[in-house]
Chains A and B, each alone.
Chain A
Amino acid sequence: MKQILFTCFMMVMCALLWTWQIEGNTQNIALERAKNAVNRAAHGASLQIDKLSLSNGKLVFDRTQALNAFTDILSKNMQLDSSLKALPDTLFQGQVQIVYEDYVDDSNVVARYGSGFDDGAKLYQYHSTDFNLEQLIYGPSVIYVIKVQKPLQINSSTDQFYYVGSIYEYPSY
């Protein structure tokens, strides 16, 4: 009888520990995958440059194309539909939102920092108070932050979110 009670107690304790462990691991995977997806999407967005401006020696991002590329690659990597809603039976749940979008390029760097990227090797401190973003950038960059619901297995509350951001420079600068 003593052993049976002890085993039952162990089973309950272990079930609780496993639940906690699986919950933690799922959060871990979700955050890692979301970060990688945002990085790849921002990388794709950073390649969308305006060719007309480039022929004038200016590197300016094509905002519309960049956002399209970002959305497209994000949905491919996070298994979302075209409106950024998670597909059924996948890791993520609910709607993914792009909550922050910014571009630093030749069209606005002088207005922001007082000098252009062509004025010698310089570092620029990108700063945004909205999401506490802080990053040193060397060249034209795209900045995105997405908001994604935490894939909680146990807690049914749906108002817990990850804010995942990425600052990506134009690769060949």
Chain B
Amino acid sequence: MKDVISLLIIMPFLLFFMFQPFHNEIVHLRGMAMEAVLDRGLERAAVKGYFTAAEIQNMKDTLSSVGFNKDEIEITGTIEGIAARVPRGGYIEGQIKYPINHLWAMPGIFKDTSETLYHVRSGTTMSEYLE
């Protein structure tokens, strides 16, 4: 009985140590996916002179296909409707922001900080758009 009780006490710690590495990996891979999507997006934006609305949608679709929540993805920068087309030689900027909902496995026991942390990936490329 004593063993069972002590096992129950240390069980949360054991589970935490067991699952945290997988959770770290997921957080890391999300960041890598955002990096890759932003890079492809910037390549296409360089041709068009800005991020077109279709391209923004395409980027969100790609991210949501690997488990991102589409409504929480925030893409800012040189975007159609907000900024004018950048002519050749100018800079196009892009930034993707996504909340890291939990930095730690088992957030119910090991509380996260109250402020929301974000994955942020940003990049700048030169426009090759010709009028």
Report the minimal beta-carbon distance from B39 to chain A, rounded to whole angstroms. Answer: 5
Cβ < 8 Å to B, chain A residues 1-27? 3-4, 6-7, 10-11, 14, 17-18, 21-22, 25
Q: CA–CA, A3 to B28, complex, Å?
A: 32
| Residue in A4, A7, A32, A77 whose beta carbon sits within 8 Å of that of B124 in the complex | A77
Residues of B within 8 A of A69 (CB): 126
Q: Does A29 contact B31, Cβ atoms closer than 8 Å?
A: yes
Residues of A within 8 A of B124 (CB): 40, 73, 76-77
What total of A-B pairs shows CB separation below 8 Å? 71
Residues of B within 8 A of A10 (CB): 13-14, 17
Is A88 interfacial (CB-CB < 8 Å)? no
Report the minimal beta-carbon distance from B44 to chain A, rounded to whole angstroms. Answer: 12
Is A33 interfacial (CB-CB < 8 Å)? yes
Q: Does B28 contact A28, Cβ atoms closer than 8 Å?
A: yes
Q: Does B17 contact A172, Cβ atoms closer than 8 Å?
A: no
Q: Does A21 contact B35, Cβ atoms closer than 8 Å?
A: no
| Residue in A7, A21, A33, A73 whose beta carbon sits within 8 Å of that of B25 in the complex | A21
Overall SS of chain A's interface: helix
Q: Chain A residue with minimal CB distance to B126?
A: A44
Q: Which of under 10, 10 to 19, 20 to 34, or 35 or more describes the interface residues of B?
A: 20 to 34
Residues of A within 8 A of B20 (CB): 14, 18
Is B99 interfacial (CB-CB < 8 Å)? no
Q: CA–CA, A25 to B24, complex, Å?
A: 9
Is A80 interfacial (CB-CB < 8 Å)? no
Q: Does A171 contact B126, Cβ atoms closer than 8 Å?
A: no
Cβ < 8 Å to A, chain B residues 40-88? 42, 46, 88
Q: CA–CA, A76 to B89, complex, Å?
A: 15
Q: Does A76 contact B10, Cβ atoms closer than 8 Å?
A: no
Q: Chain A residue with minimal CB distance to B16?
A: A14
Q: Does A73 contact B128, Cβ atoms closer than 8 Å?
A: no
Spell out A's residues near B (CB within 8 Å). Answer: 3-4, 6-7, 10-11, 14, 17-18, 21-22, 25, 28-29, 32-33, 36-37, 39-40, 43-44, 47, 69, 73, 76-77, 171-172
Q: Would you list 28 pairs from A and B whose C-beta atoms are within 8 A, ordered by A residue?
A: A3-B7, A7-B10, A10-B13, A10-B17, A11-B13, A14-B17, A14-B21, A18-B20, A18-B24, A22-B24, A25-B25, A29-B28, A29-B35, A32-B36, A40-B42, A40-B123, A40-B124, A40-B125, A43-B46, A43-B125, A43-B126, A44-B125, A47-B88, A47-B126, A47-B128, A73-B124, A73-B125, A77-B124
Given contacts A40-B124, A44-B125, A77-B124, 13 further A-B contacts (CB under 8 A): A3-B6, A7-B10, A7-B14, A25-B25, A28-B32, A29-B31, A32-B36, A43-B46, A43-B128, A47-B89, A47-B126, A73-B91, A172-B128
